[in-house]
Amino acid sequence: MSEKGSYAGDSRRSFLKKATGATITLANTNLFAFSPGTSPQWDQALQTTPWFRRITRWGQTNITEKDPIIYDITWWRNHWKRTHTQGVIINAGGIIAYYPTKVPLHYKAEYLHGRDLFGDLCRAAHEDGLVVFARMDSNRAHEEFYKAHPDWFALDRDGKPYRAGDLYITCVNSPYYNEHIPSILTEIANLYHPEGFTDNSWSGLGRDSICYCENCRKSFRGKTGKEIPREKNWDDPVYRQWIRWNYDRRLEIWDLNNRTTRAAGGPTCIWSGMNSGSISGQSRSFRDYKEICQRAEIIMLDHQARTDAVGFQHMSDIGKIIHGMLGWDKLIPDSMAMYQAGRPTFRLSSKPAAEAHMWMLEGFAGGIQPWWHHVGAYHEDRRMYHTAEPIYKWYQANEEFLINRTPVGTIGVVWSQENTDFYGRDDADVLVDQPWNGITQALIRARIPYQPVHADHLSRDASKFSLLILPNLGCMSDDQVASVKRFVDRGGHLFATGESSLFDTSGNPRKDYALSDLFGSHVIPDTAEGSRESMKRTSHTYLRLIPEMRSKVYGPQTGTEPAITADRHPVLKGFEETDILPFGGVLNPVRVDDNSAVIATFIPEFPIYPPETAWMREPKTDIAGLIARTVPNGSRVIFMPADIDRQFARYNLPDHGNLLANVVRWACKDDIPLAVSGAGLIDCNIYQQPGRMVLHLTNLTSAATWRQPVHELIPVGPVRVRIKLTKDVSGKNLKLLVSEQKASAAVEGGWTEFEIRSILNHEVVVIS
């Protein structure tokens, strides 16, 4: 798509007319089904595609209160141009107004001095053919406001207002959200006609604080007939009602704001509050991702930096998670910090360019669009101004391959936010995130492409997959359980870990796994005591691999007992020279059905220190850690009560990663459409578009793979790729979009094979 497309020179009026007219056809319009700039269909599609489906390169200068006196609009217009930016997010109102607002108590920036900074920027952007997201922040207000309307603010149990520094937290159930924010949205829409609105912090008080204001009490009483719980207690059904009531209210706010902005600004004047890149973060803020995605035309992702626990690959992961709910025809720009975000944060220092680039590139691999983000309009560290440009240039040149495509893969990894809430509770990191990270990291390490799938979408999406993985998916509804059973009945394979299906959707334990028949394993009553606490600890425990293959050479049993040479289960491939694996978790006994094979058993904890005491007290137990079976229709089911996934996320032991990868390969009968050889940690993602496939290979190999920031990129290669072709792809033609190296394809039996000499940060291969 050309930067100077037909929109670039449009007047504001004709743009609006087109955008407004687009609502009738937008559901059927697929802009990227046409070759850019070459056909009448393209021109027509451009005119009928609403802006939120078409604008892919975003930028934001997050305005500080001091900026109105130094903001150099001419300079920033140049920056928009230099970075090929098509849309900007501009601070408008909320905590601070950057325009001469007439809404009572709407606080104007201290240094605004009568300047209409938002208006000037909005007009400049429109003149340059850019679209504008007016940015709000409705979470807090100043003391003057609090004094005028103390009943619009969140109160603790003692009736004291919740505060954040000098500011007061507003209550989501008060007229602040029902009247004040809508009047600001309406004023801005009427005065400036931004294309849409976003909000940095729209969902009010988080889960860790309970508001006891009169508005909340009244609403909760009205909806449930109960009083607001006095304290957090996940075992209290009223507390869980309070959680769900909070979720519902955030969706009401989403809908109210959308009604308001569309009424004031026209049908495409959407409101799309920012959302987190962490499911636990969404849970703590009562933002139901699945419901939001059903409502949203675009997701504004506020996810600025990696943590050492997840790496860059978290971006491709979260992109796939959100697209799985939102659809792959919609867009997810992510706020990508050009400053040192994360740990530690320096708002005014440049993020090392390699670190910023890798974050962006892994986003592209997950279908995310770029959105550069600076805090403040003036910087003495000018290096950050050069970070986005080369990446935006590349994105623009290759955009047709980067959006409007669907993922290819045979492995579905199942999740749900309800599981984070009601199974994870206050330990979602340990109970939910770590098992997820362990599984997905093992898949990435093994170059096995995967797709996240929401548990409620199994009935719709499961048929795409050969194997479903349940990474300690504790909470499952009866419907979700039924979907998994249907999937296996129809020949699908299953790999489940930990306490999957052991809880209902409120987090109440079931007597047995709801999927116990498939697992071939059953809970033994009264043995699960304390399991939640034990998951937080690391214990000096092991797994014994069955059958043992005692070495003829080394073991003390030599000469007294013959070595067992029986074939081991294929998931233990590569472990022939060991009878034990390090574990770290704790296992409770399960009852295993006769039709299931126990592949590994538990070796209970024994001392580490002093070394003299470090011998196994109980070398053998019958407690199963890994159980495999093949059901009569040929489907394979592996159940892993041992939390190898969690341990791998924590400690990165290759044994754990290898075992998980072996399990996946066996369980799906090696039905994996990709094989990549060559050293390095490479995240592999495959997509399809009509007549072609797009393969992303992101090189995560670096001295800073597990500790930000990257200092230096280290190339990998040569990398040999074999990829299974989709029906409409011949596989003979290759185009390497990054290095532009020449590569030649050998096609055989529905697969194409080629070599990439070297990958620095990423390579994207178009196969047609």
Q: Which region, judged by CB under 5 A, interacts with Zn ion, from 116-124, 141-149, 207-215, 299-307? A: 207-215
546 forms part of the interface with Zn ion (CB under 5 A): no
Distance CA 320, CA 315 (A): 9
- Dihedral angle, C-alpha 264, 267, 271, 277, nearest 10 °: -170
Q: How far is the CB of 436 from Zn ion (least distance, A)?
A: 33
Binding to Zn ion (CB under 5 A): which residues in 144-183? Answer: 171, 173
Angle between helices 654-667 and 434-445 (to 10 degrees): 80
The interface region with Zn ion, picked from 96-104, 206-214, 423-431, 605-613 by CB under 5 A, is: 206-214
Q: Is 256 helix (H, G, I), strand (E, B) or coil?
A: helix
Q: Decide: helix, strand or coil at residue 437.
A: helix
Beta bridge partners of 72: none
Shorter beta-carbon distance to Zn ion: residue 81 or 157: 157
Give min distance, CB of 254 to Zn ion, in A.
18
Q: Based on CB atoms, which residue is closest to Zn ion, 246 or 500?
A: 246
Cβ(697)–Cβ(470) below 8 Å: no
Instruction: Give min distance, CB of 211 to Zn ion, in A.
Output: 3
Please answer whether residues 370 and 360 qualify as being in contact, where contact means their C-beta atoms are separated by less than 8 angstroms: yes
C-beta of 211 vs 725, nearer to Zn ion: 211
Q: Does 216 bind Zn ion (CB under 5 A)?
A: yes
Kindly indicate which of the ranges 208-216, 386-394, 500-508, 575-583 contains the residues binding Zn ion, using the contact rule CB under 5 A: 208-216
Q: Which of 109, 211, 353, 765 binds Zn ion (CB under 5 A)?
A: 211
Give, in order, the Cα–Cα distances in Å from 505 to each of 215, 249, 278, 460, 660. 28, 20, 20, 20, 27
* Cis peptide bond upstream of 40, omega within 30: no
Give min distance, CB of 272 to Zn ion, in A: 24
Quick one: which segment of 46-54, 68-76, 210-218, 224-232 binds Zn ion (CB under 5 A)?
A: 210-218
Q: In this chain, which of 213, 414, 469, 475 binds Zn ion, going by CB under 5 A?
A: 213
Task: Point out which residues pair with 751 in neighbouring strands.
Answer: 724, 748
Residue 216 or 623 having the CB closest to Zn ion: 216
How many helices (DSSP H) and strands (DSSP E) are in the chain?
23, 34
Min dist CB 288 to Zn ion, Å, is 19
Q: What is the dihedral of CA 13, 47, 56, 91, to 10 degrees?
A: 20
Query: Can you tell me whether residue 446 is helix, strand or coil?
Result: coil
Contact 300, 259 (CB under 8 A): no
Tokens linked to 294: 């059903």
Q: Least distance to Zn ion from the beta carbon of 197, Å? A: 23
141 binds Zn ion (CB under 5 A): no
Q: Mark residue 266 as left, alpha or beta (left: phi above 0; alpha: psi -120 to 50; beta: remaining).
A: left
Window 66-125: residues binding Zn ion (CB under 5 A) = none
Contact yes or no for 105/149 (Cβ under 8 A): yes
Shortest approach of Zn ion to residue 228 CB, angstroms? 9
**Count of residues interacting with Zn ion (CB under 5 A):** 5
Comparison of 145 and 197: residue with beta carbon closer to Zn ion: 145
8 A C-beta contact, residue 49 and residue 19: no
Pair 22, 50: CB distance under 8 Å: yes
Smallest separation (angstroms) from Zn ion to the CB of 274: 22
Q: How far is the CB of 206 from Zn ion (least distance, A)?
A: 13
Closest to Zn ion by CB, 211 vs 667, is 211
Least Å distance between CB 104 and Zn ion? 21
Which of residues 151 and 255 has its CB atom nearest to Zn ion in the complex? 151
Name which of 163 and 393 has its Cβ closer to Zn ion: 163
| Residues found near Zn ion in the complex (CB under 5 A) | 171, 173, 211, 213, 216
